[in-house]
């Protein structure tokens, strides 16, 4: 299949997003097999190596031969930002299209998807150490949690955890410092792609039930062992994510499995609620939302979208 350039000259991509447990990965593989696609992961945890069980990382068998990108690409001790994601995702999209295939961006990290679609282009902004120093002094002056509250004022749907100070400061830095954009770059927040956005959603109680079962399965598969085996256990950036943070906390404070599971259940419930809210309000003109695994409307929209790009 060869993708036709869209009328507006933008690259054509399919995006599938939604809360955890809704079946995005499996559905994306079905679509990729049908339309000769390759998948780009928009997941802020699956990007890390050696974090397989707790991230629900898709297995080789589940990929069914479909190439997947931006999975297992960095060490758990490294930092990975939205700027890193957008830069790498853009490269993948261009490469996939150059080979006559359909790029399919799939994931539950709404901030990544929103940034990709709307052209979040702060990649040329390096660290502003004076601004970072000022932000740190504000946190010290006003107390713990001050900067997080400021971030919520700017982005109420942020997926950054309230105790993840490096990412809080980086997001505030990007929001407060003037952007530096190359002349060849598109303006910030301009629609970057000719995209169809498919949002998969389901009843929250059902998703919560799925989360409980997935957590139990994670423990059966050796989640605690996976975390303990990580080098530099105490400094792993990736262990600030939902699920892994609870496990690390449990190990550090000697909690039993049921206590750790209880924390995970609560935080997955919060994550699902936050993801549903984010994707519900994510604005995109060509957007289809499907509920409770009824994909018929999405199937029709995807077929029409893809066929309009064939030549």
101 lies in a domain? yes
**pTM beyond 0.85:** no
48 lies in a domain? yes
Residues 162 and 221 in one domain: no
Residues 119 and 237 in one domain: yes
Mean pLDDT, the chain, as a whole number?
86
Q: Are 36 and 101 in contact (CB under 8 A)?
A: yes
Q: pLDDT category, 233, cuts 50, 70, 90?
A: low
Instruction: Give the count of beta carbons closer than 10 Å to the beta carbon of residue 311.
Output: 7
**Domain, as residue range, for 141:** 126-178
E strand map for the chain: 12-17, 37-41, 68-69, 102-107, 194-201, 287-291
E strand map for 23-101: 37-41, 68-69
Residues 252 and 299 in one domain: yes
pLDDT confidence of residue 134 = 77
Residues 204 and 301 in one domain: yes
Domain boundary among 178, 201, 221: 178
Look up residue 104 and give its DSSP letter. Answer: E
pLDDT confidence of residue 168 = 86
Residues 160 and 80 in one domain: no
Number of domains in the chain: 2
Q: Is 215 exposed, middle or buried (0-12, 13-18, 19+ CB in 10 A)?
A: buried
The set of residues, in sequence order, having a beta carbon less than 8 Å from that of 289 and lying 6+ positions away, is 198, 199, 200, 201, 279, 280
Q: What average pLDDT does range 224-235 have in this prediction?
A: 81
7 lies in a domain? no
238 lies in a domain? yes
pLDDT confidence of residue 177 = 60
Residues 209 and 148 in one domain: no
Look up residue 9 and give its DSSP letter. Answer: S
262 lies in a domain? yes
Supply angle C-alpha 177, 180, 185, rounded to 5.
Answer: 140
């Amino acid at each position: 299949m060869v993708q036709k350039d869209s009328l507006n000259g933008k690259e054509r991509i399919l995006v599938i997003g939604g809360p955890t447990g809704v079946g995005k990965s499996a559905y994306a593989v079905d679509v990729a097999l049908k339309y000769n696609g390759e998948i780009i992961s928009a997941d802020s945890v699956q990007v890390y190596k050696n974090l397989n069980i707790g991230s629900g990382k898709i297995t080789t068998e589940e990929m069914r031969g479909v190439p997947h990108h931006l999975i297992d690409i960095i060490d758990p001790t490294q930092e990975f930002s939205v700027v890193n994601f957008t830069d790498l995702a853009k490269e993948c999209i261009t490469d996939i299209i150059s080979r006559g295939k359909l790029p399919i961006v799939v994931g539950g990290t709404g901030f990544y998807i929103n940034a990709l679609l709307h052209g979040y282009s702060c990649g040329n902004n390096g660290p502003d150490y004076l601004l970072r120093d000022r932000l740190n002094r504000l946190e010290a002056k006003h107390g713990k949690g001050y900067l997080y509250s400021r971030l919520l004022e700017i982005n109420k749907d942020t997926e950054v955890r309230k105790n993840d100070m490096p990412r809080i400061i980086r997001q505030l830095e990007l929001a407060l410092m003037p952007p530096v954009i190359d002349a060849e770059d598109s303006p910030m927040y301009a629609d970057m792609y000719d995209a169809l956005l498919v949002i998969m959603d389901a009843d929250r109680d059902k998703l919560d039930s799925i989360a409980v079962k997935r957590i139990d399965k994670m423990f059966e598969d050796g989640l605690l062992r996976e975390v303990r085996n990580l080098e530099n256990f105490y400094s792993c950036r990736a262990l600030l994510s939902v699920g892994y943070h609870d496990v690390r906390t449990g190990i550090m404070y000697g909690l039993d499995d049921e206590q750790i599971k209880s924390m995970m259940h609560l935080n997955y419930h919060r994550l699902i609620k936050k993801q549903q809210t984010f994707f519900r309000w994510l604005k995109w003109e060509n957007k289809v939302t499907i509920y409770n695994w009824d994909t018929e409307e999405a199937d029709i929209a995807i077929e029409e979208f893809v066929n309009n790009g064939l030549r």
